[in-house]
């Protein structure tokens, strides 16, 4: 059973904030294809190649960064959208852009900016994604932002669900181009959210093993992983364990994807929705893991938090990275003339100044933030390894 009737239709899009004339010379693309391509060609998307996923400015070339994570999310999301008959291009656009608002050093950097910008309304990476795409990234001659379609902006704003109390950056964008923040988004956005979970659950097992943060027998204490490992070993008896780990990851991804497909079809049938707008009005998520797999997946997340995200070597680097970002913010706040001229606000009031500094720092890559800190403050002294 496909859910094509629930797919977002680019021909029926609610449009863009700024009217555009169709140009045949730009190729035969619909609205969502254009959105995806605008994201891929944007400067913030390119910067993701040097932004933290888990490890800060990792030395190893084989570890994930924000860019490779986003590509993996897009592959999973598009696969599920195709199986369900939903719009693949919109799903892919949402997956590619979902982390584009992250500052350097990932969630650790976000915590620093949230605290430093408290008087200016704080910082939220999801809201900053919308700010980037509607205001800060402006490659077009007549308007700010990428002028993405309503459906893409809506999906990015609330792919994790309705937003009852939007951060200031999202509230500003919503006031200019209302995104119906109180409702659930379309199914493509819901798929993008669960594709994100599937991607990082599994690539973090791979990266954690590669980094030596835990051993295979330790992660096999997680029942979900152990069951798939037994199945892999049964299929490939006598093969070296190291050769079987990639197969384990593929099996886990496949298991999760198939579970989401079955569960999404079940929830949709139960809800009795017939259109994309009825999906938005359903009052709950119609895509996600089944109850049984959700509990098993949470156990995997708990393991990864304890043995990877909160591991002493990772925390040591993260803590020093936070000191770098806090010092950098303080340096710009102490002397705003250090900001590039184009980034200085027109007014000197403190909220506007803090937001301008936050905008500039949030756009930095890990490496650039470290370099600017060393120029303005002093040696970064980041521990080696992660």
pLDDT tens, position by position, 14-48: 999 998 877 656 778 999 999 999 999 999 999 99
pLDDT value at residue 60: 61
Q: What is the percentage of the chain residues whose pLDDT exceeds 70?
A: 96
Domains in the chain: boundaries: 31-386
User: Helix, strand or coil for residue 149?
Assistant: strand
Q: Which position has the higher pLDDT, 344 or 124? A: 124
User: Helix, strand or coil for residue 285?
Assistant: coil
**pLDDT average, residue stretch 364-372:** 94
Handedness of CA 269, 271, 273, 276 (dihedral sign): negative
pLDDT value at residue 25: 61
Q: For residues 386 and 57, is the Cβ–Cβ distance under 8 A?
A: no
Q: How does pLDDT run across 243-285, given as a tens digit for each residue?
A: 999 999 999 999 999 999 999 999 999 999 999 999 999 999 9
Cα 270 to Cα 265: distance, rounded to the nearest angstrom: 9
Q: For residues 14 and 149, is the Cβ–Cβ distance under 8 A?
A: yes
Q: How does pLDDT run across 220-240, given as a tens digit for each residue?
A: 999 999 999 999 999 999 999
pTM to 2 decimals? 0.95
pLDDT value at residue 345: 85
pLDDT value at residue 234: 97
Cα 48 to Cα 272: distance, rounded to the nearest angstrom: 39
Q: How does pLDDT run across 128-184, given as a tens digit for each residue?
A: 999 999 999 999 988 999 999 999 999 999 999 999 999 999 999 999 999 999 999
User: At 52, is the pLDDT very low, low, confident or very high (cuts 50, 70, 90)?
Assistant: confident
Nearest to 124 by CA among 160, 72, 77, 76: 160
User: Helix, strand or coil for residue 296?
Assistant: helix
pLDDT averaged over every residue in the chain: 93
Nearest to 93 by CA among 163, 182, 153, 17: 153
Cα 271 to Cα 254: distance, rounded to the nearest angstrom: 26
- Residue 271: strand pairing partners: none
pLDDT value at residue 88: 98
**pLDDT average, residue stretch 312-325:** 91
CB-neighbour burial class of residue 363 (10 A; exposed 0-12, middle 13-18, buried 19+) = buried
User: At 115, is the pLDDT very low, low, confident or very high (cuts 50, 70, 90)?
Assistant: very high
Q: Which position has the higher pLDDT, 57 or 304? A: 304
Q: How many residues does the chain have?
A: 386
Q: How far is CA 109 from the centre of its chain?
A: 15
Cα 270 to Cα 60: distance, rounded to the nearest angstrom: 47
Q: What is the percentage of the chain residues whose pLDDT exceeds 90?
A: 83
Tokens 């002493």 belong to 312
pLDDT value at residue 276: 95
- Of 3.40.50.300, 1.10.3210.10, 1.10.3720.10, 2.60.40.420, the CATH number of 31-386 is 1.10.3210.10
pLDDT value at residue 350: 87
């Amino acid at each position: 059973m496909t859910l094509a009737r629930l797919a977002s239709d680019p021909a029926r899009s609610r449009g863009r904030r700024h009217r555009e004339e169709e140009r045949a010379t730009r190729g035969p693309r619909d609205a969502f294809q254009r959105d995806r391509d605008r994201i891929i060609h944007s400067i913030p998307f390119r910067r993701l190649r040097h932004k933290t996923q888990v490890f800060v400015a990792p030395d190893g070339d084989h570890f994930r960064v924000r860019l490779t994570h986003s590509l993996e999310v897009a592959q999973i999301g598009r696969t599920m959208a195709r199986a369900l008959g939903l719009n693949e291009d919109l799903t892919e656009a949402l997956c590619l852009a979902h982390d584009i608002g992250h500052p350097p050093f990932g969630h650790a950097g976000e915590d620093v900016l949230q605290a430093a910008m408290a008087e200016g309304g704080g910082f939220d990476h999801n809201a900053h994604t919308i700010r980037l795409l509607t205001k800060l990234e402006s490659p077009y001659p007549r308007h700010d932002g990428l002028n993405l379609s309503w459906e893409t902006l809506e999906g990015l704003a609330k792919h994790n669900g309705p937003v009852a109390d939007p951060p200031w950056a999202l509230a500003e964008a919503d006031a200019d181009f209302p995104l119906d923040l109180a409702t659930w988004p379309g199914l493509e956005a819901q798929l993008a959210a669960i594709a994100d979970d599937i991607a990082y659950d599994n690539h973090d097992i791979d990266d954690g093993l590669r980094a030596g943060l835990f051993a295979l027998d330790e992660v096999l204490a997680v029942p979900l992983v152990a069951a798939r490992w037994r199945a892999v070993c049964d299929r490939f008896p006598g093969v070296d364990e190291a050769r079987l780990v990639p197969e384990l990851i593929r099996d886990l991804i496949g298991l999760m994807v198939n579970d989401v497909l079955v569960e999404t079809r079940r929830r949709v049938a139960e809800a009795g929705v017939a259109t994309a707008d009825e999906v938005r009005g359903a009052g709950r998520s119609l895509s996600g893991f089944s109850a049984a797999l959700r509990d098993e997946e949470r156990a995997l997340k708990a393991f990864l938090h304890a043995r990877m995200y909160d591991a002493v070597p990772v925390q040591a680097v993260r803590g020093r990275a936070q000191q770098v970002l806090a010092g950098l913010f303080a340096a710009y706040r102490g002397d705003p003339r250090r900001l590039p001229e184009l980034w200085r606000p027109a007014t000197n009031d403190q909220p506007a100044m803090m937001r301008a500094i936050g905008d500039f720092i949030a756009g930095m890559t890990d490496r650039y933030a470290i370099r600017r800190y060393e120029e303005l403050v002093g040696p970064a002294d980041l521990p080696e390894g992660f």
